[in-house]
């Protein structure tokens, strides 16, 4: 998988126009070996809704626009804060599992962020890519902000925290996004979900 493919997995994480259903408190994907607790009161999006959301997202780069709608892997899980339809940016948590690539987590995530700038020209790095741990496993983290637009003319400033966690020949990509300020910042709820996350070795 090329760096731009990694970037596609973390593009358009926030939901703008979708529908969602209530999730059970603890989500476990046994085949992938991952589990986490959804924030209290949040909802789970179906994969059909994830795809519909991607098709409505407007990117600056035409190649990435097409790839996001037709080639980007669907996530294992997407949690959203509000039941849709919601009249604004809907904070969300997304986890995707993909084949790994050579390179350190920091190198891979930095390459993905560079490609994301093609999709979001005003993307700003709030916290630079750095080495960290997720559930005791080596990982990389970055926090960025950018303007997210869709085809209906909606636009909002987004703050996204992204983690890349290799596990053997695979890697998890975790995105948690919300507004830059106000009540829809992906704050304590997202921090709690990250702390609850467990990955089987």
Query: 173, 6 in Cβ contact below 8 A?
Result: yes
Verify cis geometry, omega within 30 degrees of 0, for the bond prior to 147: no
| Contact status, residue 49 vs residue 20, Cβ threshold 8 Å | yes
Mean pLDDT of 150-166: 89
Give the closest residue to 67 by CA, choosing from 142, 149, 11. Answer: 11
Spatial distance between the Cα atoms of 123 and 118, rounded to a whole number of angstroms: 9
pLDDT of res. 13: 47
Read off the pLDDT band of 68 (50, 70, 90): low
Average pLDDT, the chain: 82
Angle (deg, nearest 10), helices 62-70 and 47-56 = 160
| Total tally of structural domains belonging to the chain | 1
The first and second tokens of residue 110, run together, are 């930095």
pLDDT band with cut points at 50, 70 and 90 for residue 83: confident
Which domain does 35 fall in, by range? Answer: 3-199
Q: How much is the average pLDDT of 120-139?
A: 96
Q: What is the CATH number of the domain that holds 180?
A: 3.40.1000.10
- Calculate mean pLDDT across residues 43-49: 78
């Amino acid at each position: 998988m090329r760096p731009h493919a990694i970037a596609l997995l973390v593009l358009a994480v926030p939901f703008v126009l979708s529908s969602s259903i209530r999730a059970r408190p603890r989500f476990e994907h046994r085949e992938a070996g991952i589990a986490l607790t959804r924030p209290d009161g949040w909802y789970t999006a179906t994969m059909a809704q994830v795809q519909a959301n991607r098709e409505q997202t407007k990117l600056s780069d035409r190649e990435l626009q097409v790839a996001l709608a037709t080639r980007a892997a669907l996530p294992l899980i997407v949690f959203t804060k509000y039941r849709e339809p919601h009249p604004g940016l809907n904070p969300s948590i997304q986890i995707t599992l993909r084949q790994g690539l050579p390179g350190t987590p920091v190198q891979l995530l930095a390459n993905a962020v560079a490609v994301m700038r093609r999709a979001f020209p005003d993307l700003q790095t709030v916290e630079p890519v750095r080495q960290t741990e997720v559930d005791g496993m080596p990982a990389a983290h970055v926090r960025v902000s950018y303007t997210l637009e869709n085809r209906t003319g909606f636009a909002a400033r987004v703050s996204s925290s992204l983690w890349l966690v290799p596990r053997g020949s695979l890697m998890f990509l975790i995105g948690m996004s919300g507004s830059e300020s106000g009540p829809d910042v992906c704050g304590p709820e997202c921090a709690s979900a990250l702390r609850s996350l467990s990955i089987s070795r």
